Every structure is written in C-alpha cells, then in structure tokens.
Amino acid sequence: MIPAPLRARLLANGRKTAAGMEIDPYPVVKVFAPGGSATWLLTELDPDEPDRAFGLADLGLGMPELGYVSISELKACRTRLGLLLEVDRYFVARQRLSECASDARAHGRIVA
C-alpha cells in the first residue's frame, strides 16, 4: 500500500521515536477513502512492529485524533462503495503533525 521510499521515511521516524527522541515530524503519507471523508496522516512506523503506524486519524465523525493504526487493516478497509483506501501520491505536508492536529481539531476534520 505504501511505496518503498515513503515506507523508509516512516521507519526512520519510528526509529527516532524508539530511541527516545521527541520528534514532531511532518506527515509522510496521506491515506484517504475515495468518495468518503476518512483520512489518515501518517508520520511513522514502529520499527519492531512495522504494521503499526502512528499519525492523525479522521474517520469523518468530527473528532480527529492522534493514535496508532494497523497498515494491514487500512489495506483491507473498503468504503461504502466497495473501494479500497488510497495513498495520495501527490501529498506534501506543509505543517508538522502537531500543527495538523491542532488545525484538524479546530475545524473538526483534517484540512491538509
């Protein structure tokens, strides 16, 4: 689901966190539901459990939140129309994760 170069960046961020560094990275990957309102901005993969990603999740309920998500669950998820989730190939983060989260809470949705 996630292209190798982006996966490498996610793992690099995960290694920093695992080493005890406090980081506030730019989101690396945007996953979205075509025709739906769910969006995830992912910043890192757990190097010991690379199916586990951290980032900002917006399920379209007006309450975006920071947390962990399973990549395999994202890969298996389908929209109401039966479409698979997609990675936005053209996504470039303009804000760090903390700023994205703050804006998302203020607007009730991810605005990236």
**What does pTM read for this prediction?**
0.95
Give the domain extent around 59.
4-107
Residue 49, domain member (yes or no): yes
pLDDT digits (tens, 9 = 90+) for 83-112: 999 999 999 999 999 999 999 999 999 987
Domain annotation covers residue 112: no
The verdict on residue 18 lying in a domain is yes
Q: Are 86 and 75 in contact (CB under 8 A)?
A: no
H-helix or E-strand containing 86? strand 86-87
Confidence of residue 40 (pLDDT cuts 50, 70, 90): very high
- Per the structure, how many domains does the chain have? 1
